Amino acid sequence: MPWRGPTYPGELPTLGYQVLGWIADNLIVPDGPAAGEPLEFTDEQAMFVLQLYALDPNFEGPAISGRALNNGRRIRRAVLSRPKGWGKSPLVAALCMAEALADVVPDGWDADGEPVGRPWTSLGFKAKVQIVAVSEDQTANTWDPLLEMARNGPVGDNYDIEPMEGFVNVPRGRIEPVTSSGTSREGFRPVFSAMDQTESWVPSNGGRKLAGVIRRNLGKVNGCSVETPNAFIPGVGSVAERSFEAWKKQLEGKLKADEGLLFDHREAPPETDPADEHSLMNGLAVAYGGSADRHGGWVNLRRLLNEYWDPDTDPQDARRYYLNQVTHATDSWLSQPEWAGCAAPAETVADSDPIVLGFDGSRKRNRGVTDATALVGCRVSDGHLFEVRVWEQPDGPAGDDWEVPVAEVLAEIETTFRRRNVVGMYADPAKWESHVAAWEAKYGHRLRVKSSANHPIEWWMTGGRANAIVRATRSLHDAVADRELTHCGSSTLTRHMLNARRSESRAGIQIRKEHPDSARKIDAAVSSILAWQCRLDALAKGDLKPERTGAVYFL
C-alpha cells in the first residue's frame, strides 16, 4: 500500500514520530535537574528529528530488493547549528542510540498508509555508529551523555547492550567515538555518523578530508550523517561553511537532482544590539528557542548575558557561541550580521525602475580557480542591490578547463539593456577592454550617468586610481554598515561579499581575495562597488523622474 497522502499542505511522511517514541521509551535525560527522567525533546528539537527521518512519498518499499538496499529516506546529510548549551549533544547522542537499535530503515507502508521501519541489523548490516571529531575533547560532548543514557536508562533492560568506557556493544554492531585522519577511516562502513563542531574541521587539521571519507563510507549503505556545529567563520573553509554553501546551492537549484541536505540553523536577528540589555536578551531568546528559560527550557539567559558582557569574552566569539551568528574573519571587509541586516529578498525591481549596473569580468586562469564574472544591478531610487547574473567555475569535473562563457555574458548584457531601464553602467575593463569599448559604442549615448565623457562605462578598479577606488569601496561599506541600502539576499552575492578581505594601501582600504589563487571569489563584491558608485553619481545628477520613450526608459 502507498503512503496515505498529505493531510495538510507540504506534509511529508516521516519515521520521526516512531524514533521520538522509541527515544522516550528507552532513553533518559543524562544530567541536570531532570536527570533520569524519560528523554523528551522541545518542539524545536522534535521538528529536527521529524525532518531528518522524512521519507520519499513515492517510495514503495520494501527496504531491500534482492541484494540491493532501497533508500526511502530523503536526507543523507544534515546540519544542526545552534548555540552552546542548546542541547545538540544529548539530541545527537539519542540519535546514535536509535540508529543502532531502533526501526530507522524505511520498509514501506502499513495498511493505513503510515510508514514502517526496521532496524539495520534485520537487513544483514552491522549497526556501526560513529561519533567523529578532530579532537578527543570534541567527541566527549556527545559521548559522555550517550554513556549515561546507555548505562542508566531502560535501553539496558530492553536490549542486549554493553556500555564500555570506549565503546558500546549492541547486537551485531557498535557505537564508538572516533578521532582520526581521513585516510585511516577509508573503507569503514557506518550506518550513521555524528560529526561534532564541524566549524573547526578545516583543511589544516584534516577535517575536510575526514568529512569526505565519512560521506563516501556512508554512501555504501545509504547511511546518514548529522553535523552539530556552532556558527562558522566565513572564509576559513570549514566543513560547516561548505555544508552551508552546498545547502544554498540546493535551495537555488544549482545541485543536480539532490535534495538530500537538511540545514537547520537558528541565530539571533542581525539587528540584535549586544550593548543594549533588552535587545541582547531578546536576541538570546531567539537563538536558544525552546531551550531558553523564557520559553520553559533549561538555559538561563541572564547568566549568558553576564558571560557575554564579561570583559574577558571576545565580542566575536560571543556572537558565534551565544547568538549563533555567523560572523567574519578578522580581516573581513564586511561582517555577516551587517550584510544580513540589509537583506530584502522579497523586494522586486520593475523593468521600468531606473537602475545602474556594475560589471567585473574574468578569463581563464593558468593556476587556481578561474575568477567569476559578475553583473550586479542597483536601483537608483532606494539603493536596492541585486544579482543580475554571476558566472562561476563549477565544482568537480564539470569545472575542468572551464572558461567564462563570453557569448552568454554578452547576451545577458544585451538582454538587460533591452529589457530594463539602465541609466548607467560602470565596468572594470581588465581583460574585457574590447567588449567594454563595444558596449560604450552601442549603449553610451543612452546612459544618463557616465564614467567620463570619452569612456562612459570604463571604470578601472586597478592601476593609478587608488584614491577613487578607496572612496568607492568605503561608500559601499558605509552604506551597508548604516543600512542605507537593501539587497536581494542572493547566496552568490552574499558569499562574494563575505569572502572579501580588507587590503591596506597608502590611500586607504581596498578589497582583495584571501590570496591570489583562492577559490573564494569576490567578483560580485567588486561589481557591487561599481554599481553603488554609479548609483551615487546618478543621484548627483539630480533628475530621478522616470519617463518612457518607445521601448527604452530614461531618467
Residue 176 phi, psi (nearest 5) = -150, 150
Contact partners, residue 551, CB within 8 Å, separation at least 6: 418
pLDDT score recorded for residue 549: 35
- The tens-digit pLDDT sequence of the chain (555 residues) is 789 999 999 899 999 999 999 999 999 999 989 999 999 999 999 999 999 999 999 999 899 888 888 889 999 999 999 999 999 999 999 999 999 999 999 999 999 999 999 999 999 888 999 999 888 888 999 999 999 999 999 999 999 999 999 999 999 999 999 886 544 555 578 999 999 999 999 988 889 999 999 999 999 889 999 999 998 887 788 999 999 888 887 877 766 666 799 999 999 998 899 999 999 999 999 999 999 999 999 999 999 999 999 999 988 889 889 999 887 666 789 988 899 999 999 999 999 999 999 999 997 765 667 889 999 999 999 999 999 999 998 876 777 788 999 999 999 999 999 999 999 999 999 999 999 999 999 999 999 999 999 999 999 998 778 899 999 999 999 999 999 999 999 989 998 999 899 888 888 999 998 777 777 899 999 999 999 999 999 999 875 544 433 333 333
**Cα–Cα distance between 420 and 306 in angstroms, integer?**
52
Decide: residue 235, CB within 10 A, 0-12 exposed, 13-18 middle, 19+ buried.
buried
At 354 the pLDDT is: 96
Rounded to 5°, angle at Cα 143 from 140 and 145: 105
Q: Give the burial string for 144-177 (b: 16+ CB within 10 Å, else e).
A: ebbbbbbeebebeeeeebebeeeebbbeebbbbb
- Global confidence as pTM: 0.75
Contact status, residue 304 vs residue 277, Cβ threshold 8 Å: no
Q: Which grid cell sits at 312?
A: 574577558
pLDDT at 305: 96
CATH 3.40.1620 fits 340-554, yes or no: no
Which of the listed CATH numbers 3.40.47.10, 3.30.750.200, 3.40.50.300, 3.40.190.10 matches domain 16-265?
A: 3.40.50.300
pLDDT of residue 307: 95
Ordered by start, the domain boundaries in the chain are 16-265, 340-554
> What's at 55, amino acid-wise?
L
CA distance 242 to 20: 30
Place of cell 562597488: 529
Please give the C-alpha separations between residue 255 and each of 38, 252, 396, 405, in angstroms, as whole numbers. 40, 8, 12, 20
CA distance linking residue 423 with residue 414, whole number of Å: 14
Between CA 129 and CA 139, with CA 134 as vertex, the angle to 5 degrees is 50
Output the pLDDT for position 315.
84
- ω into residue 9 within 30 of 0, thus cis? no
Alpha-carbon gap, residue 327 to 268, rounded angstroms = 12
